[in-house]
Homo-oligomer: A and B are copies of this chain.
Amino acid sequence: MRVAEGFEAGVIDNRSTPHCRVQGVPIADVTILGGFWKPRMEVNRLRGIPRLLQLLEEHGIVDNFRRVSKRKEAVRRGPLFTDSDLYKWMEGAAFVLQSSKDAELDSTLDRMIDEVVAAQGPDGYLNTYFVDEHASERYTKFAHNHEFYCAGHLIQAAIAHYRATGKRNLLDCAVRFADHLASTFGPGKRDGFSGHPELEMAMVELYRTTRKREYLDFARYLLDQIGFPSRTAIEGHAVRAGYACCGAADYFAETGDKPTWSALERLWSDMADRKVYITGGLGSRYEGETFGEPYELPNLRAYAETCAAVANAMWNWRMLAITGKCRYADMLETVLYNGFLSGVSLSGDTYFYVNPLESPGRSGNAERGHERKEWYTTTCCPPNVQRMIASLPGYIYGVADGGVWLNLYQPSRLEHEMGSGTLILEQKTSYPWYGEVEVIVRDAPSKRLNVLFRVPAWTDACRVSLNERRIPNPKPGTYCKISRRWTPGDRITASFDTPVRLVEAHPRVREDFSCWAICRGPLVYCVESVDNPGIPVQDLFLQPQPTFKFQFRPRLLGGVGTIRFNALVAAQKGPLYSTSGTRRPRLRHVNALAIPYYAWANRGLSSMLVWLPRGACLLARDKGTW
């Protein structure tokens, strides 16, 4: 299935990166064989990506380039950073080409590349806003003008395209711009900084692709300019903070710079322990699209921008590559199945910009409300979703000198040259609906190799067997290592118990206090009114000891596991504030249905809740304990 022999890099090319425990595998080495992600990759390729290019054309985003190259008379349209939207679309399309030959997409991409390259200045500068009447504003407002940000996305798109096709048409253009930037800015040169980080990771990846050391040095310069190594808390604009962490992780992986690693560990803990939604979403505030105070995690007003989920996934993938620690893979999985995937409809062509954990079932805000749209004025999220989905095969496996890592479970085939020979694995699973995974070795190098099986932290009991013999004590939240000389036909089976779990938040998360979220496997569930006729979901309370019934329903929402449970409805017309104990809600016992959070808002406007208040206080009141 190799589409471009010789371009052996994965999503990131950390094959010879000194401070990585796990290396990515080329997307071309992984074949997706049905399962959960296959249909999503297909609608992404067949509907999402073509439709978004139409929209980029309709909204004049491609014309912006034609205007600069004088190929077309046009007024510049869209926000000043919108070049990046085309670049992200290109990167997504290039990732598609890394896993499937698609001659039409290949030539469409070449046409777009031609438009982009034609707009590049003789000095290498490339931006459709800061030209002509705005040329004097070039490099004047680093905090807001997104010039470095757009450059970063150009570079990432160029690298993905080069890895897909071996063509240098876009890569050479990106290199010219990168050289222009690196020769203009830096110690002893002009000063500039990333108002919106992104260029950092692009520069490290360009170093990895070209081995030109100045790109790595430039990444270091950019990280210093934003004071990265001395950051103590994850704060400010969530996407910017997340991309900065990705760039810093890439920089550390190449250099082993200790202050950078300390900052990364501090920021990751601040995020994971205090500032991430249960869905993996990041960003609590509409105002400034920022992180909030520790534990400030509103549900109805969660911002949790889809782009921030992408940033979180990318960051955790990099942390996993560096450390091989399961917690980063767990977070990656949480984001992918929940706060990231909610960002796109099942049809693959409408998107959420924000991903609330509660909805009143009204579209309260025309631009960023509770209903997916195919286009946003700031349309950063749609192409970000596309590139992430298209690159997913690159996240499933990792390799290292000693063997292979199974990070994500998904029916797939890995065929990877290990140096000592080719490893071919076949993975079968109906994950995330059921916790059984089977891996069959089809071919293997003759030397001893580790297979590292991720045992997700969410499982409370698991069994891993090799050729029907149990591996002792696999521990949730770690990788379970099986080391041997493998022969074709060797069979590893894993079974992770997937009970319905009631999850509670740290009590400082005031919005979730005395609430439970229903989870199963890696999935967070929600209650949507469309599934619960006659039940005002905002008045739903959980029983003290609810019983749950899981059922996979192949025809619902593209195939989902639903959870039916007994609950209470306590509708109250009472006053907003009242002396404790004076409310007399009328209780009604109901059966409610929960669906995976990612699947909500696919059937029109509907009210929705993730965190369900516990009803014990309602029942207990009569017994005098409250």
Contact = CB atoms under 8 A, between A and B. Distances in A.
Nearest to A515: B513
B577 A278 contact: yes
Interface string A293-318: 11110111100000000000000000
Given A501-B579, A579-B501, A625-B616, A506 B299 contact: no
B625 A620 contact: yes
Interface residues of A, number: 61
A80 interface: no
Contacts of A516: 580
A332 to B, nearest CB: 16
Interface in A528-570: 538-539, 541, 544, 570
Nearest to A618: B507
A507 B287 contact: no
A6 interface: no
A498 to B, nearest CB: 13
A502 interface: yes
A360 interface: yes
Interface string A554-594: 00000000000000001010111111100101000000000
A505 B576 contact: yes
A435 to B, nearest CB: 16
Contact of A513 (B292, B513, B579): B513
Contact of A576 (B276, B502, B578): B276
A101 interface: no
Contact of A511 (B511, B576, B580, B617): B511
A367 to B, nearest CB: 12
Nearest to A499: B579
A325 interface: no
A578 B276 contact: no
Nearest to A512: B510
A626 interface: yes
A55 interface: no
Nearest to A502: B580
A287 B273 CA distance: 27
Nearest to A574: B506
Interface string A360-372: 1010100000000
Given A513-B613, A616-B626, A577 B507 contact: no
Contacts of A491: none
Contacts of A614: 514, 626
Contact of A539 (B508, B515, B541, B626): B508
A106 to B, nearest CB: 43
A611 to B, nearest CB: 8
A625 B620 CA distance: 9
Nearest to A503: B577
A626 B626 CA distance: 13
8 contacts: A274-B576, A293-B362, A299-B510, A501-B579, A502-B580, A506-B577, A513-B513, A513-B515
Given A272-B576, A504-B578, 6 more contacts: A298-B301, A298-B511, A299-B510, A507-B541, A507-B572, A508-B539
The 5 nearest A-B residue pairs measured at CB: A514-B514, A502-B580, A286-B287, A510-B511, A504-B580
